[in-house]
Amino acid sequence: MIKNSMEEAVTQCLQAAQHEFRPQTQKMLLRAAIFGKSFIPEINPEPCKKAIFTLRVLNAVRDYRVGE
């Protein structure tokens, strides 16, 4: 039961990070997800990789200096 709750918490942290606009809050949520993921060795790492890549791209696009 704890394993299922931890997987759900990791998933929710990843989703919350992807819906957040502030990079500081994104980092906090990603760190929480990665910390929770460390307790579940058999969890699929692809959602974390995808979330990190997506946030990097979105934050780069939102930066006003990118178009200079």
pLDDT greater than 70 at residue 67: no
> What's the pLDDT at 2?
60
> What's the pLDDT at 48?
92
Q: What is the mean pLDDT of residues 50-67?
A: 87
In a domain, 30, yes or no: yes
> What's the pLDDT at 68?
63
Counting every residue written for the chain, the total comes to 68
Reduced to 3 states (helix: H, G, I; strand: E, B; else coil), residue 39 is coil
Q: Based on the structure, what is the number of domains in the chain? A: 1
In a domain, 29, yes or no: yes
pLDDT tens digits along 21-56: 999 999 999 999 999 999 988 889 999 999 999 999
The boundaries of the domain holding residue 43 are 2-62
d(CA 29, CA 18): 9
Q: CA dist 49 to 1, 32, 45, 66, 68, Å? A: 25, 14, 6, 23, 29
In a domain, 67, yes or no: no
pLDDT greater than 80 at residue 3: no
